[in-house]
Amino acid sequence: MDEKDTEQALTPEEAKRQWENGTVAKTIARCPERQAQFKTGSGLDVDRLYVPDPAALTGESYRNKLGFPGQYPFTRGIQPTLYRGRFWTMRQYAGYATAQESNRRFRYLLEQGSTGLSVAFDLPTQIGYDSDDPLSCGEVGRVGVAVSTVEDMAALFDGIPLDRVSTSMTINATAAVILAMYIVVAERQGAPLTALAGTIQNDILKEYFARGTYRFPPKPSLRLISDLFAYCASTLPKWNAISVSGYHIREAGATAAQEIGFTLADAVCYIETAIAAGLDVDDFAPQITFFFAAHMDLLEEVAKFRAARRLYARLMKERFGAKNPKSLMLRFHTQTSGVALTAQQPDNNVVRVAIQALAAVLGGTQSLHTNSKDEALALPTEDSVRLALRTQQIIAHETGVANTIDPLGGSYYVESLTDRLEAEAEEWLARIDSIGGMVAAVEQGYVQRAIEQAAYEYGNSIETGDRTIVGVNKFVEDKPPAMDLFSVAAAVETRQAEAVTAVKRNRDAAAVAAALSRIEQVARGNENLMPAIIAAVRVSVSLGEICSCLQNVFGEHVDAFS
């Protein structure tokens, strides 16, 4: 009798018991803190898992379409116990002005119960210009923290032990340099690199069609990404080498199915690039993560997350032949929607964020950021940030939705939406494949046009009143919002530029020149760039200097469709 026949011979009760006695038991042993009595608010017992029909547990459809949590195809979640094991990471995105000021916000968030850090960088840092560069004028510290040197990175994490906190960094074109700075700060703290946990976004493709913070052309940018993959696989076992972002694709106007399809098309490109560079898929795939948006259609968003997990698992198994179960798992961070926030009646945004966060939790996210109510008007205040974090904590501790796995699984509507979104996303992925892959699709403007069309249709539905946005095109009030807004002081730019200039003035000029020469030499060859970049950071070579050196070799990307 083969393995398939053995599975079919199991009774439903035996199949469920086998699942519970295997992966579930092991997970519970590692996560005892959540193994209390699980009951509803009125005292009814809550089971770990509910199934649509016990008789279907051993059927072909259940195994290949739903399965059990923690097992292929991961429709019902990648962990066998989900939040009964432990809650998602509550990771608030923060960063503004100087490293010292952002450090104070980080400490505040940790004191308030945040369980992970997420760094927002200013635009010069994202594109690779130092704070004292004339091109940075007017943008230093405005939409994130300014990090030009390793001294900035050290100040950003002053008093925060990097071997005991999980850090996410939203940075793409300059990801290799920023990660190098983080590594050097960890070395200074005495933290072993094997203990560093977190994620570097490192997703350049969506920058070309959905966001815009690129520096180098696609081909050398992909080389930087595969070099970072290889470095993390060999040196940083707990670090996620990429966070393939559907968030920015969705925020640019894409539909839910396009968000899945285009994001997985990006992932396919990165995986193919790494394999072409000589890496085995199972060596780096477990360090691939994803980043999705949570929008307002609650049940569609839940279905979207479930569909994305299932499609990715099939993709990794069937297209790339991945053998490690961790290579098949779509792990993802979620952020509530920025474009759904309104400047009109901003208090309404508290409700919007709560609904979107609930969708992420019901969909099985591993990590979550909740936006603040005032972000359509300014950077968030401390009070707004605290309320956003409290929203997550209330969902976790008071609603009961974390007490069972995939609580909406089996819903006729949710399962239908999951199937339809998966099929439509797969169609978008096939279209990208037929063009020649994501780089070709971007170069031809195909992805840009598809998103623009979806954005136009959505915007038009609001203009015509077919879609209601409360406080914007219905239930409108004339009075402006009465609230205190956060602002970055104008003096920040001067202080930060002076600090960067001082670092450059007081370092070893010969060591800097040698380090830059080495980066250029490696960039012109085939060696991994990460060791040369890390060595340069150790002698205080700045972000802007490293990026200028790389640009001399790689060139600068110019958008043909702008």
Alpha carbons 49 and 428: distance in angstroms, whole number = 33
DSSP H helices, 174-291, are 175-189, 205-206, 218-235, 247-251, 256-276, 281-284
Predicted confidence (pLDDT) per residue in 411-457, tens digit: 999 999 999 999 999 999 999 999 999 999 999 999 999 999 999 99
3-state secondary structure 537-556: HHCCCCHHHHHHHHHHHHCC
Instruction: For residue 71, give the amino acid letter.
Output: Q
Tell me if 188 is assigned to some domain: no
- Count of beta carbons in the 10 Å neighbourhood of residue 505: 8
pLDDT of amino acid 55 = 64
pLDDT tier at 57 (50, 70, 90 boundaries)? Answer: low
- For residue 217, with 0-12 CB atoms within 10 Å meaning exposed, 13-18 middle and 19 or more buried, which class applies? middle
Number of helical (H) and strand (E) elements in the chain, helices listed first: 23, 9
Q: What range defines the domain where residue 48 resides?
A: 7-66
Alpha carbons 467 and 458: distance in angstroms, whole number = 8
The phi and psi torsions of 27 (rounded to 5 degrees) equal -65, -40
Tell me if 27 is assigned to some domain: yes
Alpha carbons 329 and 306: distance in angstroms, whole number = 12
pLDDT tier at 483 (50, 70, 90 boundaries)? Answer: confident
Distances (CA, A) of 475 to 47, 327, 345, 472: 42, 48, 10, 7
Among 147, 105, 96, residue whose Cα is nearest residue 126:
147
Report whether pLDDT(373) > 60. Answer: yes
pLDDT tier at 34 (50, 70, 90 boundaries)? Answer: low
Per the DSSP assignment, residues forming a β-bridge with 170 are: 120
Predicted confidence (pLDDT) per residue in 189-201, tens digit: 999 999 999 999 9
Are 166 and 254 in contact, with CB atoms under 8 Å apart? no
- Count of beta carbons in the 10 Å neighbourhood of residue 506: 8
Highest mean pLDDT among 30-39, 107-116, 127-136, 372-381 belongs to 127-136
Kindly state the tokens that stand for 426: 């797969």
Average pLDDT over residues 63-92: 90
Among 150, 131, 146, residue whose Cα is nearest residue 535:
150
Average pLDDT over residues 538-562: 93
Average pLDDT over residues 363-390: 95
Q: Which residue has the tokens 């002005």?
A: 97
Tell me if 559 is assigned to some domain: no
Rg (CA), the chain: 24
pLDDT of amino acid 486 = 76
Kindly state the tokens that stand for 387: 């309320």
Kindly state the tokens that stand for 408: 């909406």
Strands 367-369, 332-336: pairing kind? parallel
Average pLDDT over residues 111-120: 93
Asked which of 7-16, 40-49, 129-138, 516-525 is least confident by mean pLDDT, the reply is: 7-16
pLDDT tier at 537 (50, 70, 90 boundaries)? Answer: very high
pLDDT tier at 2 (50, 70, 90 boundaries)? Answer: very low
DSSP H helices, 190-255, are 205-206, 218-235, 247-251
Kindly state the tokens that stand for 302: 């839940």
Residues sharing a CB contact under 8 Å with residue 475, sequence separation 6 or more, in sequence order: none
Counting Cα atoms < 13 Å in the Cβ hemisphere of 256 gives 22
Report whether pLDDT(56) > 90. Answer: no
Tell me if 58 is assigned to some domain: yes
Alpha carbons 55 and 52: distance in angstroms, whole number = 9
Kindly state the tokens that stand for 280: 């085995």
Alpha carbons 543 and 148: distance in angstroms, whole number = 5
Tell me if 501 is assigned to some domain: no
pLDDT of amino acid 332 = 98
Predicted confidence (pLDDT) per residue in 493-511, tens digit: 999 999 999 999 999 999 9
Tell me if 24 is assigned to some domain: yes
Alpha carbons 269 and 222: distance in angstroms, whole number = 9
Tell me if 547 is assigned to some domain: no
Q: Put the strands of the sheet holding 239-240 in their side by side order.
A: 239-240, 197-200, 166-170, 116-120, 89-94, 367-369, 332-336, 288-294, 242-245
Tell me if 17 is assigned to some domain: yes
What's the structural domain count of the chain?
A: 1
Report whether pLDDT(64) > 80. Answer: no
Average pLDDT over residues 326-350: 97
Longest CA pairwise span in the chain (Å): 75
pLDDT tier at 7 (50, 70, 90 boundaries)? Answer: very low
Peptide bond into 12 cis (omega under 30): no
Alpha carbons 338 and 353: distance in angstroms, whole number = 9
Distance of CA 49 to the CA centre of its chain: 27
* DSSP H or E stretch at residue 498: helix 491-505
Alpha carbons 370 and 25: distance in angstroms, whole number = 32
Counting Cα atoms < 13 Å in the Cβ hemisphere of 465 gives 4
Are 90 and 82 in contact, with CB atoms under 8 Å apart? no
Q: Which residue has the tokens 């992925």?
A: 429
pLDDT tier at 23 (50, 70, 90 boundaries)? Answer: low
Alpha carbons 77 and 30: distance in angstroms, whole number = 18
Percent of the chain with pLDDT strictly greater than 90 = 82
Among 109, 441, 104, 94, residue whose Cα is nearest residue 258:
441
Predicted confidence (pLDDT) per residue in 143-154, tens digit: 999 999 999 999
Higher pLDDT, 415 or 23: 415
pLDDT of amino acid 38 = 85
Distances (CA, A) of 160 to 43, 78, 192, 323, 557: 41, 30, 15, 37, 36
